[in-house]
Amino acid sequence: MVIDELINKIEHTGNPTVVGLDPRLSYIPAYITEKYYKKYGFTKKAAAKSMYKFNKAVIDRIFDLVPAVKPQIAMYERYGIEGLKAYAKTCAYAKSKGLIVIGDIKRSDIASTAEAYSDGHIGMVDIGENTFESDFAQDFITINAYLGSDGVTPFVKDCRDYDKGIFVLAKTSNPNSGEIQDLETDGMTVYQKMGSLIEKWGGELMGSKGYSGIGAVVGATHPEQAKKLRELMPHTFFLVPGYGAQGGKAEDLAVCFDKNGIGAIVNSSRGIIAAHQKDNYKDCFGDEKDFALAARQACIDMKNDLRRCI
């Protein structure tokens, strides 16, 4: 199962890090953007081409150090069709390098619309006599289940049919998540109620290592809530955003892991892909074309930091 594959890759690399491929044009070295501006002008196509070139360079330097990457689709969708092409190419290239791909899409709807979202990202679509796979090479996707279980069922079905996985929003890393997620209902908070539902849904897709292909998004910036969720969800694998730039520390997120040091994967985006812009990583590379060496060192530093506390 795909969850077992993810855990195997984490164990092989010794690194529970997922690199968030969330490029902004301000992160991309000028030698890349200028090349495409010269060819295509100041256009969405030039922006998308630059993003893919940037992502490819980063992937080439980190694929042997980490188990997975997590492209955030919104960063690509802002550039329309050209951006989505860059997203699809990024997913495919990461897969070709042996990485698990977590598509951070946070889709949410009910019934036939949820089914359409699932078909388009992790399922299949029938057209006449032909059946087509998704254009996006994703192993997992993130979803928002706050519409209830009828918005989750189509995704679970495709996970079961096509060996895919999902991470469901439980307790998110943003500062104001508590406005809704920390409200009390029926003797527990909303995020705990969501956690109990995720653990229940996950029973359909248990892997051989004690975790389900139905995982949860649990922010590193809320360690007390994360601790409660780990106790409530012993079979649910956590995707943990919020480390680094958002303020989450390795000491905070240790509670997301089980006693054997597994059970979670921690995301870092700009802390890795924009490391070349930080003064403490300037010595990692000479020419700007070697910028991705800084991303590589940032992955090593993050691994060591996490292992210090797990």
Residue 9: Cβ within 10 Å count: 18
For residue 246, what pLDDT is reported? Answer: 65
Tokens of 284: 């990692």
52 burial type by CB count under 10 A (0-12 exposed, 13-18 middle, 19+ buried): buried
Residue 100: Cβ within 10 Å count: 24
Based on the residue annotation, tell me whether 106 is a catalytic residue of this protein: yes
Share of the chain above pLDDT 90, in %: 79
Compute CA distances 213 → 112, 140, 249, whole Å. Answer: 22, 9, 26
Spatial separation of the C-alpha atoms in residues 46 and 48, rounded to whole Å: 6
Residue tagged active-site, from 35, 56, 106, 209: 106
Q: What is the pLDDT of residues 267-280, one digit of tens each?
A: 999 999 999 999 88
Q: Can you spell out the DSSP letters for 268-286?
A: ESHHHHTGGGSGGGGGG-S
Parallel, antiparallel, or unpaired: how do β-strands 140-143 and 130-133 relate? unpaired
Q: What is the pLDDT of residues 172-227, one digit of tens each?
A: 888 788 888 889 988 899 999 999 999 999 998 999 999 999 999 998 888 888 99
Contacts of 146 (CB under 8 A, 6+ apart): 108, 169, 194
Domain 2-309: homologous superfamily in CATH: Aldolase class I (3.20.20.70)
Domains of the chain by residue range: 2-309
Reported as a pLDDT band with limits 50, 70 and 90, residue 247 is low
Q: What is the pLDDT of residues 280-289, one digit of tens each?
A: 888 887 788 8
- Give the predicted TM-score (pTM) of the model: 0.95
